[in-house]
Amino acid sequence: MSAGAAGEPDAAGRALSAAAPRSWLRLKTRAQYQAVLKNPPASRTAHFALHRLAWSGSAAVTPAERQKPVFTPASGVWLGAMAPKRWARRAVTRNAIRRQIYALGQQKAGGWPAGAWLVRLRAGFDRSQFPSASSTALKRAVRSELERLFARALPSANTKPAADLLPPGLS
């Protein structure tokens, strides 16, 4: 059975998306995450920290392995998200946070300087305030805090109020 066009359901009943190609690459390996985490945060909020590794002549290569590059290609924008179990116990919450980070990265990556960027969850959201693991209120709180995080790190980037950037079902 062949898959239909974008917007039509596939065999499992899920809608197929016609997402635009990303203008950034995703951090995938442990070495990539470690290379970015070696740098101090470029920006912080109550729950998130944003780390950046700017490209230079040796930034894409680990000191111990001069022959093996960590980032190939060592240009453009790379983005990663860390939501550890320590701060978000439920997988639903961790996945929702990562989806918010990557969605915002898709919107803002064109205005970012080249380099590797990593958004790290550094504190948990209060379960008494957000009892649902993936509520609309939690998603809005995460989105607005990520907006502030990126605005602090990239003051020249085009920033809009968080309410304007929420996906259609969350307003």
Strand ranges of the sheet holding 48-54, from the earlier edge strand across to the other edge: 25-26, 77-82, 115-121, 48-54, 41-44
State the fold for domain 25-170.
Ribosomal Protein S5; domain 2 (3.30.230)
Q: What is the structure's pLDDT at 167?
A: 54
Q: What are phi and psi of 7, to 5 degrees?
A: 95, -25
Q: What is the structure's pLDDT at 146?
A: 95
Q: Give CA separation, 141 vs 75, 109, 126, in Å.
A: 32, 21, 11
Identify the CA nearest to 118 among candidates 19, 43, 62, 22. Answer: 43
Cβ atoms of 29 and 70 within 8 Å: the answer is yes
pLDDT for 42-91, tens place per residue?
Answer: 999 999 999 999 887 544 544 554 446 788 877 788 999 999 999 999 99
Q: What is the structure's pLDDT at 78?
A: 92
Strands 115-121 and 48-54: antiparallel
Indicate the DSSP class of residue 120: E
As a whole number, mean pLDDT of residues 94-106 equals: 93
Q: Where are the domains of the chain?
A: 25-170
Identify the CA nearest to 75 among candidates 60, 91, 90. Answer: 60
As a whole number, mean pLDDT of residues 133-159 equals: 85
Q: Is pLDDT of 100 > 90?
A: yes
Q: What is the structure's pLDDT at 142?
A: 95
pTM value is 0.72
Region class of 125: left (phi > 0), else alpha (psi between -120 and 50), else beta? beta
